[in-house]
Amino acid sequence: MSKGNLREQEIKNLRIQKIKRLKELGQDSYPDPKITKPSISLKEILDDFNELKKKKFDKKYKVVGRILITRGAGKIAFVKITDGTGEFQAVLQVDKIGSKKMKIFIKNFDMGDFVQFTGVLFKTKKGEKSLLVSSFKMIGKTILPLPEKWHGIQDVEEKYRKRYLDILSDKETFKRFQDRAKIISEIRKFLDNEGFLEIETPILQNQASGAMAETFNTHHNDYDLDMVLRISLEAEHKMVMAGGYPAVYEIGKNFRNEGSDSTHIQEFTMIEWYKAFEGLEYNLKITEKIIKHLAKNIMKKSVFEIQDLEDKKVKINLSGKWKRVKFNDLIKKYAKINPQKATREELEKKAMEFGGNLKDISRMSLGNLLDFIYKKSARKKIINPTFVMNYPQELKPLAIQNEDGTAEVAQLVIAGAEITNQYAELVNPIKQRELLKKQVKARKAGDKEAMSMNNEFLEAMEHGMPPMTGFGMGIDRLVAILTEQGNLRDTILFPIVKPEVKK
């Protein structure tokens, strides 16, 4: 056993002894929750301290919280606690509770313990708002120690595995996940006010559709059926739209079995919405409006500093009118080649210049080849919010196809990362079947991310889907920008990490 594990075991043994000791003194360290309810939250005390103290200076308040810090001993102890709404100081004095109770507290209560204090409000000589304790109870004894309050968890992987300790010891982390919740709540309010209906669609599916990605595969034992975890919400949403709803949205989990880096994770949260009788322009306007609204009303600012894909700190400004540029024009500008006139050989050569592997490049479809060149040459240069329009048709088989070989789509790019996908949706079942057949052919040729034929989806389209525009956005990526995080894992409570190998 290592020194660290030995020390941990010693602490566990000591604290288990304290539980037994408290039991002998008549205190249950894990009482029934109904007797732990406070008379007031710490936030309420902090917000109205002077008024509460003025109304009845001798009124006793019952508060609960987790011990963060204990200072002093002997005749006086200062204890900082948190209940999740705020932090507040409780003061224990021998002349108020007696020496016996003071010894019980000092010997048996540790940092991290949940405690109930009863007392009156007062200010210390230094003017700090406090509760002068007249009685206390243990309401949740910790057996393992918490990380040092002022240092927190230093190991990044440990932060992800034990996020509860990271939240407790790091105020910035605590606030970040509050902000994430507020962002999602505000998106819901915004879309509800726009007349959208929130729906739920299945995560476990017979086949993947709606995006180009490799799947996580599983098996339904009762039906003896191979199934996959969904990679997109799109197909089911359009099928619902065929049922007559004018606008729908969903915030839910997707799963893509792809590589991991700071901007990609296999389990992530998406929002998708679909609006009937509107085109791509509606989507562009509402996207800009909602993200600006979140920045202003939740984060209270419009300029954010984040890491781009090259780990450089950059400032992005969400105010002002957002730019719109065409995919092909970006390749012309940054790769110095015209994608609509260049030969396949010329495009492969250009991809090689940007670090492509000849074997991989030769197997790429024309659309994927152009996408590779775009990502390596142009996308990383886009810092402020920019809508990249008209991607190659081959990359967007579910969107309306233009006559110039492009699709009627837009992606919002910020700091080199794709934040949204927006389509003028293809609802022509004849054309859609043709495009999916091409995808099936590409899949058989070895493209694992190519789409499969989804006959249920096509049948719904043949029954009639309204003209519509659609939108998809990674919630985690949006939160990363608004909370100025360079890694998606810092916006997810429990991101996927490799299991800890314990010696």
Token couple for 322 = 């957002």
Provide φ and ψ at 332, rounded to 5°. -60, -45
Range with lowest mean pLDDT among 1-10, 78-87, 136-145: 1-10
Q: Mean per-residue pLDDT for 44-48?
A: 94
Q: Mean per-residue pLDDT for 101-108?
A: 95
What is the pLDDT at residue 148? 67
Q: How far apart are the two ends of the chain, measured CA to CA in Å? A: 8
CA 97 – CA 74 distance, rounded (Å) = 12
pLDDT band at 1 (very low <50, low <70, confident <90, very high): very low
Residue with tokens 């004894």: 141
Token couple for 196 = 């959208």
Range with lowest mean pLDDT among 4-13, 185-194, 273-282, 409-418: 4-13
Residue, of 240 and 150, whose pLDDT is higher: 240
What is the pLDDT at residue 6? 60
Range with lowest mean pLDDT among 38-52, 395-409, 434-448: 434-448
Q: Which CATH class is domain 164-322+384-491?
A: alpha beta
Residue with tokens 């390596």: 376
Token couple for 166 = 């990271």
What is the pLDDT at residue 312? 83
CA 47 – CA 54 distance, rounded (Å) = 14
Residue with tokens 């096509």: 458
Q: Which CATH class is domain 3-146?
A: mainly beta
Q: Mean per-residue pLDDT for 190-201?
A: 97
CA 116 – CA 27 distance, rounded (Å) = 12
Closest CA to 481 of 388, 414, 420, 387: 414
413-427 pLDDT tens trace: 999 989 999 999 999
Q: Mean per-residue pLDDT for 319-324?
A: 95
What is the pLDDT at residue 138? 97
Statement: residue 233 has pLDDT above 80: yes
144-157 pLDDT tens trace: 988 765 455 667 88
The DSSP-derived string for 37-86 is --SS-HHHHHHSHHHHHHH-TT--EEEEEEEEEEE--TTEEEEEEE-SS-
CA 406 – CA 411 distance, rounded (Å) = 13
166-180 pLDDT tens trace: 998 889 999 999 999
The DSSP-derived string for 428-496 is -HHHHHHHHHHHHHHHHTT-TTSPPP-HHHHHHHHH----EEEEEEEHHHHHHHHTT-SSGGGGSSS--
Residue 145 DSSP label: P
What is the pLDDT at residue 150? 45
User: At CA 36, angle to CA 31 and CA 37, rounded to 5?
Assistant: 155
* Residue ranges per structural domain of the chain: 3-146, 164-322+384-491
What is the pLDDT at residue 439? 85
Closest CA to 75 of 113, 102, 57: 102
pLDDT band at 502 (very low <50, low <70, confident <90, very high): low
What is the pLDDT at residue 451? 79
CA 492 – CA 499 distance, rounded (Å) = 17
Percent of the residues in the chain that have a pLDDT greater than 70, as a whole number: 96
CA 32 – CA 58 distance, rounded (Å) = 28
Helix axes 475-482, 280-294, angle to 10 degrees: 40
269-305 pLDDT tens trace: 999 999 999 999 999 999 999 999 999 999 999 999 9
Q: Mean per-residue pLDDT for 304-331?
A: 91
Three-state DSSP string of 2-46: CHHHHHHHHHHHHHHHHHHHHHHCCCCCCCCHHHCCCCCCHHHHH
What is the pLDDT at residue 58? 79
What is the pLDDT at residue 260? 80
468-489 pLDDT tens trace: 999 999 999 999 999 999 899 9
Token couple for 102 = 């003071």
The beta strands (E) that lie in 372-424 are given as: 386-389, 409-414, 417-424
Residue, of 446 and 169, whose pLDDT is higher: 169
Residue 298 DSSP label: I
Q: Mean per-residue pLDDT for 396-419?
A: 93
Q: Under a CB-based contact definition with an 8 Å cutoff, are residues 230 and 267 in contact?
A: no
Closest CA to 367 of 423, 399, 406: 406
Please, what is the average pLDDT of the chain? 91
Range with lowest mean pLDDT among 256-260, 273-277, 396-400: 256-260
Statement: residue 3 has pLDDT above 60: no
